[in-house]
Structure 1
Amino acid sequence: MFLRAALITISLFLLSNPLCHAHGLHSKKTLEKIAETKTITLGYQDDAFPFSYTDGPQPVGYSIDICNKVVDAIKVKLKIKDLKVRWVRSSTASQFVFIKNHVTDIMCIPAFYSEARHQKAEFSLPYFFSRTRFITRRNNHTDTIEDLAGHSVLVKSGTIYVDQLHNINKANDLNLNIELDNNNRAAFEEVRSGELPALVSSSVILKGMVALSPQPEEFEISDEALSPPVPAGLLISLEDPEFKNFLDVTMLTFFSSKDFLTLYQRWFEMPIPPKAINLNIPMSAELKALINSTSTTYAY
């Protein structure tokens, strides 16, 4: 009798406790949870122009627009016209924690792929490819990574560039001092002020930083690439292959439409309001090959 009463008490606690209810939602598949709550939670960054940044009350950017296309597809699949979108600000350092703990359903930020990162979260089909380079002040006359030997070099924490730079440093015995920052704008300011000589990042992110600066002519991005083209995708949970397949099919369908080319041109080949910044970045051969494919299977 005592055991039966205890079990009833525990059961009632589990049913009434909001934390346990949340855990129950987390154990559901992503689409099931979205259908039940009529809400999708999306992560964004505020410092990753032109992918994900803030310009007013809502995040904007290339990654944000792609996520919005995914949301439209989810509305159709689940037949929810009034699906609520909840935005959560994230960073390169917190994105994997948010995905693992189901704080967000999708990370709408430029998540560049690495094997180590793939152990923490699943990647969608890539929507961009970019090499790693570094930026310096033009008057530094720094052409190669070897020219920075013995100096401090800045990298944003939580990015793939940290490991890339460590490997280059070790392989070439450069004696670099690798400094970390958690915000692209703050990192760029340290280079602009002359506090540090160089910042390592994705070439497209660097190009965006230069374009946004008041004196873009004062900076140069290295001709030397520190990596081959690296794919960037949306991040989702490792635990939901069904959602991964839905996401990839949705993205491939979008890639094959004229709307995708229009979207790409809007962010990389046309003036971006309100400052009319044109990054002039043609679509890469890697992305062209992917969108011409008829398969959702992509070998990272």
Structure 2
Amino acid sequence: MHSNSLFFNAAFVVISLFVFISPPCLAHGTHSKKTLERIAETKTITLGYQDDAFPFSYIESQQPAGYSIDICNKVVDALKVKLRIKDLKVRWVKSSTASQFVLIKNHVTDIMCIPAFYSELRHQKAEFSVPFFFSRTRFITRKNNHTDTIEDLAGHSVLVKSGTIYVEQIHNINRTNDLNLNIELDNNNRGAFEEIQSGELPALISSTALLKGMVALSPTPDEFEISDQTLSPPIPAGFLLPLDDNDFKYFLDTTLKSFITSKDFKSLYERWFQSPITPKAINLNIPMSADLKALTTSTSLYAY
């Protein structure tokens, strides 16, 4: 097993997360109003979702559903109380990992309700909320490939979803370890998994939780295996929001922190990761990570 040496060789650095910074306001014209003020005026909040990120964000009964969607709905409930708007409207905008930063930057969405995994580079494009999940990066292959480590894939192609943190990670691993990988991109998790399922490409790189979700949804889950080798430390995932609005970030962070330290959060986590998920009764069996457990008992908003 080479996971420890690979991790240090790749020199991944998860920066001290979500430090409270105050970038200058970049919004002008129609977006000069701050998010809370605009929501109060329009009585509408615009939320981004994905349809291919089970169990975080997907479509069920023609509506966005999932772990991060449920957490976003808790934020909406808190916003109704703060702004005293009982009939606050929610407008959902379909997004992808490739478009999420553009939608936030251009104020098309107020919050991206999908798990945005943190990196310093990504933090330059958008603000991150406090995290509500942590996951390591791994890869998935067909069992008949007999691929145990990323080194076994040297000289071959690997698939990564565009716009994700995994693109940055695998490029670092490839360069640092001289693996000569051909890194191919796909814009949809379902399409990417189908390429692995068909044998067109040997491996797909993503977070452990998303990979488990893809396998669980497959009609032939026993044909696949997720690597024991990890390609990253536990990476925090939060919501994306605009860089230029500290008041909105503070509201979102304090709301999330209050929820994460409540009993309701534990129940929500167990519903999505340790219980059968309707309608297919899929149980991902992912225990709460030590990092997330620490947040559920923390009394400090930024003591991560």
TM-score of the superposition, structure 1-length normalised?
Answer: 0.91
From 223, 242, 255, the equivalent of 1:218 is: 223
Partner of 2:208: 203
Aligned counterparts of 2:167 and 2:47: Cα–Cα separation in 1: 25
Residues matched between the structures, number: 278
State the Cα deviation string for residues 173-204 of structure 1 (Å, max 9, x = none). Answer: 11100000000000000000000000000010
Measure how far apart 1:23 and its partner are.
5.9
Instruction: Give the counterpart of 1:245 among 247, 250, 265.
Output: 250
Deviations 1:6-63 (A, max 9, x none): xxxxxxxxxxxxxxxx964411111100000000000000000000001122100000
Q: Give me the whole-angstrom Cα distance separating, in 1, the residues matched to 2:172 and 2:263.
A: 40
Task: Please give the alpha-carbon distance, in whole angstroms, between the structure 2 residues aligned to 1:37 and 1:274.
Answer: 36
Q: Which residue of 2 aligns with 1:273?
A: 278
Query: For residue 87 of structure 1, what is the aligned residue in structure 2?
Result: 92
Aligned match of 1:149: 154
**Letter matched to residue 288 of structure 1:** K
Matching residue's letter, 1:151: H
Aligned partners of 2:299 and 2:110: how far apart in 1? 26
Distance in 1 separating the partners of 2:141 and 2:57: 23
Using the TM superposition, give the Cα deviation of residue 296 of structure 1 relative to its aligned residue in structure 2, in angstroms.
1.3
Which of 56, 67, 70 is residue 72 of structure 2 equivalent to? 67
The alpha carbon displacement at 1:81 in A equals: 0.2
The whole-number CA distance in structure 1 between the counterparts of 2:54 and 2:251 is 27
Q: Quote the residue 2:184 is aligned against.
A: 179
Contact 1:45–1:89 (CA under 8 A) maintained in structure 2:
yes
Cα displacement (A) at 1:66: 0.3
Alignment of 1:1-300 (within 5 A): 24-299=29-304
**Separation in structure 2 between the aligned mates of residue 270 and residue 116 of structure 1, nearest angstrom:** 35
Shift of residue 255 of structure 1? 1.1
Residue 258 of structure 1, CA deviation: 1.1
- How far apart, in 2, do the equivalents of 1:95 and 1:227 lie? 23
Q: Give me the whole-angstrom Cα distance separating, in 2, the residues matched to 1:186 and 1:57.
A: 20
Gaps of 5+ in 2: 1-26
Structure number, greater radius of gyration: 1
Change over 3 Å in CA distance of 1:229–1:52 after alignment to 2: same
Structure number with greater CO (CA < 8 Å, separation at least 6) is: 2
**Structure 1 runs of 4+ with >6 Å offset:** none
What is the deviation of 1:148? 0.3
User: Identity of counterpart residues, as a percentage?
Assistant: 79
Alpha-carbon distance in 1 for matches of 2:29, 2:80: 23
Partner amino acid, structure 2, of 1:50: P
Displacement of 1:297 in angstroms is: 1.1
Match of 1:10 in 2: none
TM-aligned CA deviation for residue 256 of structure 1: 1.5
- Could you say what secondary structure the match of 1:286 adopts? helix
Equivalent pair of 1:25/1:33 in contact (CA under 8 Å):
no
> Match of 1:239, as an amino acid?
D
Measure, in 1, the Cα distance between the counterparts of 2:52 and 2:287. 22
SS for the counterpart of 1:65 is: helix
Q: Secondary structure at the match of 1:209?
A: helix
Task: Name the aligned partner's letter for residue 40 of structure 1.
Answer: I
Task: List alignment gaps of at least 5 residues for structure 1.
Answer: 1-21
Q: Which amino acid aligns with 1:192?
A: Q
1:100 aligned partner, one-letter code: K
Q: Do 1:50 and 1:267's aligned partners in 2 also have CA atoms closer than 8 Å?
A: yes
Alpha carbon RMSD of aligned pairs, Å? 1.0
